[in-house]
Structure 1
Amino acid sequence: MIKDFIRKRSIHVCLICTGGCNGCDIEVAALLSKRYDLEQYGIYYHNNPRECDALLVTGHVAKQWQEKLIELYNKVPEPKAVLAIGACALTGGIFQQESDKTGAPVSNFIPVDAEVPGCPPRPAEIATAILKYVPGVLASYSK
């Protein structure tokens, strides 16, 4: 009962790294530190896509991740949002020349609701994107 009450008033995100240098992952991890304290905004991190409202996707979508990314996306319950974080997720970044090993951008595989550019983007930019786009996507389904 309490869990349902809290879940309705918060955003639950799941981070998926699909290849790359992990620079964006470090910036997302910084959001959990005392400096940014993501939970003060009602945003909670989960490892299980079945318990999240939004996927935070980083990396250039390596060949091994292409089918897995679609499977993980399908496991997220509706309504759901997807944020592509970093240059690799948006364009392939420094991995563009390896076209046979990468399938960037993320939007080639799953629908993306918001993009956070940068290599890597700052934690504040990621938090702002989550707060700006995810509630709007989730609210549009409730109408």
Structure 2
Amino acid sequence: MSKNHEGPTIISSLFNADFLGRPYMRQTVMIPWFYLEARVRYGNEFVGEMLMVSSFDALKDILKVQHESFRVHSIQYVTPGFVNETGQWKMEPLLEASEATNQQGERVPLFKVPDRTYTHLGVNTEVNLKSVKVLFPAVKKKRD
């Protein structure tokens, strides 16, 4: 999905040398991805870290490994224009990520944002999904 660039590879008189010396990320394919904000413990402090995640399977893996020193705080779902039907990239807060089973028994990822629910590479129009397993936000257990 992406490639890290450690050194200056942008050649232009529009940017100063300080900009060219900074690492950057370039996405080379037009697929949805996730932008996560995590809280990570460093000693006695928690700091925020941003993660760019390119697949649903990678997102599931990250959500599984959360513990008291690493917790996903928020997720943005980033979609290209042909997916979100606006013609341009869009970043939306992910309210819920879940996995369901369709009528053919296939796993279907669902990504709920404020105005719609996405699946695969488009808006979810499928009905009769079953066995929905919510992955994010994590359901918190009530303490008695």
**TM-score, normalised to structure 1's length?**
0.27
Question: 1 or 2 for the larger relative contact order (CA 8 Å, sep ≥6)?
Answer: 1
Q: Compare the two structures and name the one with the higher helix fraction.
A: 1
**TM-score, normalised to structure 2's length?**
0.27
